[in-house]
Structure 1
Amino acid sequence: MDVVCSAAGKAADELTRRDVARALLTVPAREALEQFAGIRRELTAAGNPLSATFWNSTEATLSSIEAGSATVGDVRLWLEATGTEPTQLFPAEGFLWSDEDERGPVAAELHARLVSHLEALVAAGVIDSDLLVRSDDAALAAYRQAQLDWLRAPLPDGRVPFDAIAEEEDDEFLAKWDEAEADARSILGELLSDAGPRPCPQDELAAACDRLRDQLGSDEWPYQLLRTAAGVDPATLPRDDRELWLTLAAGVVTPNDEPPDDPLNDSSMYWYMLGHEAWIAAAVSLARNGPSTVVDADSLAHDAATFDFENTEDDEFDDAPWLDDLDEPEARSDQTQQLSLGFFTVALLWRTLGALDVDDRLTELGWWGIPESLLRAWQPHTDPS
């Protein structure tokens, strides 16, 4: 009993069903079953007997866990039936709590406040936990609705829990993405430095930008896709050629948006899925091979699938977190078809930019600009505030 009270931070007469259930889940099921009767007796003696329905469901659940027949869903439903465990309001209501060890400070705080709110509803008789144990449809629906109402209602400080948690999760995702891009940019820069200088062909750049300025205002394909991916307004294009070209090319690497009518829908889906490692492999391979290299979706996919990130002298390559999920080069070759579909759209847009010529050979502009476009796409974002 002392362990249960310590974990919950409450006296025995204040413990809830959720407090007891969570404490029992922290020890092996056999040990929990051995402690079960003693905990029940002590709670009864403390004037907090809970209910026979709860104890019966608890014994049944622990026995199932001990026998190996209980699923994660079974345990989750038992825990939620305590009446004070927030449920996963997904997909119908579009809300999903992160695992406890993955919640940010805001989510952790608001989860605790919701638990307190539910405890008050149980104490007031608004929530009947025994009905939840019996899977009463009306009780379950009311339980979910009570949580949803709380999540959508402003708190005294003005925050709406639903929005505050979503904002924190978005910020955490963007922070992780920025970290991954910083790692990718660092690795790309190191690999490119070994490939040697790649001068910018000024005349070729100027000619390409003159053509792009003439075409970007039209709805002709694929200029519409190029414009939308880069997030540019044809009426306010950068006047500097280098800035214009790199802005457009960076949009190929990290698209801002997609046009409403995309004839390459399947290919574009795989384009959006191309990871940092695929982009680095393609760009570094092109930088090493140089102008006039034949470039198509299949060759880019092959480069991406077989590129050896392990053959480097810098340990930071191995430590980059987004490299942890990569298989060995032999296993990556199985991904070639998916990569080829993604690079199909990329090659089309690079041709439109003048990075590839009509024979799908790498131009001087592409030799310089494709790697530079990755560095541009992954540069640190400036905080508008």
Structure 2
Amino acid sequence: MSNGTLSGATNVSKVNVHSLLYPGNTTKVLVHYLPWFDGGNDTGVNVNYSNANPTYINAFFADIVSRGVDGVMVDWQGQTDISDKDWLVSQPLIHNYTTLSGDKLTFAIMLDANLLNNYSGSNQTKVLSALSYINSHYLSDPSYLTYNGKPVVGDFGLTAASGLDWTAIQAAYPNIQFVHLDNATSPDGFSIAKSGGSFLWVNPTSQDVSPPDLSGMDDFFTRANQHPTEIAMAGAYKGFNSQYASWDGQEYVDQQCGQTWLNSFTKINQYYNSAKQLPFLQLVTWDDYYEGTPLETGVDNCLTLNTSVSGRTISVSPSSTSTLDHLELWSFNNSAWSQVTYPATTTTIPVTAAGTYYVKAVGKPFIKNTLSSAITVN
């Protein structure tokens, strides 16, 4: 897609996403998930699958587990919305999956402000009705995300709605940890009455500037440190381009061929370490194809990979190594494939036998992999 989204045929790195975080991290990494694609031309974007199809759902869970993800933040817009219908199909299936660390794959509900369009009454009544529904349908699920024993519920934009009394909402549901969208205004996500915490989101601008300004991350983490008893849910993203989101207007965060994605983690690692753990990280997003943030099909590092042969030595020349995790040399012998791993900075690879070889440049987590053309060694 012309907003910087890679094809669904892209081969994506399965290096554990936790490797981008500081050593010794215990952070739960979650993907923000939009479960409302219906397999057709949904609002101008046809992704060729349905979020209600068990085949897709199982592939989705298997894929995020293979990348080191620990859970799903479900963008939920009310009990009559397609997001609820589709997640009701997914909910029992998530119980079949465990993370790479052996824990349950978890999920949490993110209350999207669009739910206000799907209920009647005052905004306060609408939110309380939505909470009554998710309390009975989701929060007691053994796979539901908790913090200090309480279920975590996200709030995406409800704080901008009028007529909401968060003190009363929290009093009605004292078992819930409400984590609010951080918009850095007054009050910010941490300072809302009875706030359980706040989460960071991508902050686009009207101009496509490279490198993008990520100082909003510094501001978020600084305020998180000022509220040490509340939940800090960091965010990482590859970029933003709202070309297919007519409701946004044109807004951008330049991808910088994968550097924005990696810089998101660099920011986190400046504020957290093994002695000061970040509890949650939300990846923005799994599948928002409208706004150019989808990680499902990978992060484009714009890599080219050139190879040449001299005798029994293969020379390797990637256009850049900053987004690479390692190189792999693949060969096919005796009716079987085999591969040997090399550091990303390797420039020459000796081989002992004639044959056909391929070099695979494996990206850092979520970044696309690049395969060389066939290399013939005589």
Shorter-chain TM range is under 0.3
User: TM-score, structure 2 length as denominator?
Assistant: 0.20
* Larger-Rg structure: 1
The structure that is helix-richer by fraction is 1
**Greater RCO between the two (CA within 8 Å, min separation 6)?**
2
User: TM-score, structure 1 length as denominator?
Assistant: 0.19
